[in-house]
Structure 1
Amino acid sequence: MGEHYFSSRPDAASRTRTIDLVLPDLHLRLETDRGVFSPDRIDPGTRILLETVPPPPPTGNLLDLGCGYGPIALTQACRSPQASVYGVDVNERALELARWNASTAGLDTVRFVLADEIDPELRFDAIWSNPPIRIGKAALHDLLLAWLPRLTPGGRAHLVVQKHLGSDSLQRWLNDQGLPTERIASRSAYRVLAVTLPDQPHRPARTGNDTP
C-alpha cells in the first residue's frame, strides 16, 4: 500500500520489484518498492500525463515535482537529452530508487534530490507533475505556490489530477492565484492541466470557497 508515500522515511518493510514503463518513444525498466507511490505499476495518471504532454524543451532545466521512483523525470531526460532534469521528493526511499533507475538506464543528466538541495535561484523551463493530492489541500497549495512561480518566462507546468480528487476546483484555484491554467487533455477521469507563469505578478484571490 502507498498511504504514506509522502513520508520522508516510510515504515513499510522493503520489498522491491521491477516494472516496465512502455511508451511509443521509450521503454524503461524501473525498480520500485513498498512505501513509495504506485509501486506495483505505472500510475494511470502518470501514464496519461506522459502520453499527452507536448515535448519538453530540448535544453534548459526541467523539473519533476513529486518524482517518486522517477518515471516522469526519466521520460523528460529521454526526450530532452541535452536538458538538465531534476526530480524532487520528500520520500528518501523513492529518491534512492530513482537514482538507481537513472543509473541503470544510463541517464546521467538527471538529479534526484530533496527540495532544499536545489539552488533557490534556479528556474525551470518546464515542470511536469503528478502532484501528491493526498497530502491535503493546504500542503498541496503551499507546494504548488513554492514551485510554480519558479518557471521561466514562457515556461509551462503540466499537472495530472483525477477529477474526483478535485482537478476542476484546483484549476479554478490556480487561476485565482494568478497562474493561468487550462485543461489540455481529459481521459479516464483524469485531467491534464497546463499552467503558465504570467509576465506580471498577480495578487491571489482569497475567497476560500472554490479550493479543491
Structure 2
Amino acid sequence: MTEQHQHYFTADPDAVSDPRLLTVELPDLTLKLTTDAGVFSPKQLDPGTRVLLENAPAPTADGDLLDVGCGYGPIALTLAKRYPDRRITGVDVNTRALELARANAKAAGVGTITFHLPEEVPADKRFAAIYSNPPIRVGKQALHDLLLHWLARLLPDGIAYLVVQKNLGSDSLAKWLTEQGHATERIANAKGYRVLAAKPRA
C-alpha cells in the first residue's frame, strides 16, 4: 500500500510535509490549491473527483451542501464557486487536510465554507445535497458506517452524489445502499468511475 493510502484517512498523518501548489482546471473554473504529503491525491486532482465534479448535477433542494472526505478542499471549493449562495460544510478525519482546506478557502476568498472533523458537525444539521469521493480503501464496514451516518443527514428531498471506481465495487455499493433504504442509481460513467445518486430513506 502506498504512503498516500497509509495516511490520508488517519487523523494525524506522520508523512513528512512536502507542500506543493496544484492547479485544477475544470470546464467552468480554475482552482489553485495547496496540497501536502499525507493527504488524499496530493500530486494531482484525483480522477474520480474530476469525474464527480464534471458530471454531478446542481443541487435541486434548498439548503446547505456537504463534502464528505473533503481532503484539501477541491470538491467544497468547486461547490462554493458554482453555488455562491449556498453554505458548504467539508468534513474529514485528517487534520492536515483540514488545515490545507481552510487555507485554500481563505486564499480563494471564499467565506461560505467551514471545514470540520466529523464529530464537530452539529447532530441536528441537515443538508440539501452531499458530494463525495468517499474513502473506499478505509474498509467495507467503516465505509458503510460512514455512508449511513451522513446519508441520514440529508433533507427529505436531498440527494447524495458519490463517485466510486467500478473495479472497487461501485455497482455492489449501489445495490447495498438500495438494500439499506437509500434508493441509488448510476447517473454517470466515465474513465472507470461511476457517479451514484443516493436518496434519503423514505
Alignment TM-score, normalising by the size of structure 2:
0.96
Alignment-derived partner of residue 179 in structure 2: 176
Q: CA RMSD in A?
A: 1.1
> Sequence identity of aligned pairs in percent?
60
Q: CA deviation at 1:56?
A: 3.0
Alignment-derived partner of residue 2 in structure 1: 4
Partner of residue 66 from structure 1, selected from 62, 65, 69? 69
Matched, 1:154 2:157: yes
Q: Deviations over 1:15-53 (max 9, x none)?
A: 100111111211110000000000000000000000001
2:148 is aligned with what amino acid? L
Q: Which has the higher contact order (CA 8 A, sep 6+)?
A: 2
Distance 1:159 1:7, change over 3 A: same
Give the count of matched residue pairs. Answer: 199
Alignment-derived partner of residue 145 in structure 1: 148
Alignment-derived partner of residue 92 in structure 1: 95
Unpaired stretches in structure 2, ≥5 consecutive residues: none
Q: For 1:41, what is the secondary structure of its paired residue?
A: coil
Tell me, in whole angstroms, the C-alpha distance in 1 between the residues paired with 2:60 and 2:178: 24
Q: CA deviation at 1:153?
A: 1.4
Is contact 1:149–1:197 with CA below 8 Å preserved after alignment? yes
Matches within 5 A, 1:3-22: 3=5, 4-22=7-25
Partner of residue 41 from structure 1, selected from 34, 41, 44? 44
Q: Deviations over 1:148-201 (max 9, x none)?
A: 011001111000000111101000000000000000001111000000114x3x
Unpaired stretches in structure 1, ≥5 consecutive residues: 201-212
Is contact 1:179–1:196 with CA below 8 Å preserved after alignment? yes
Q: CA deviation at 1:59?
A: 5.2
Q: CA deviation at 1:57?
A: 5.0
Is contact 1:59–1:80 with CA below 8 Å preserved after alignment? no
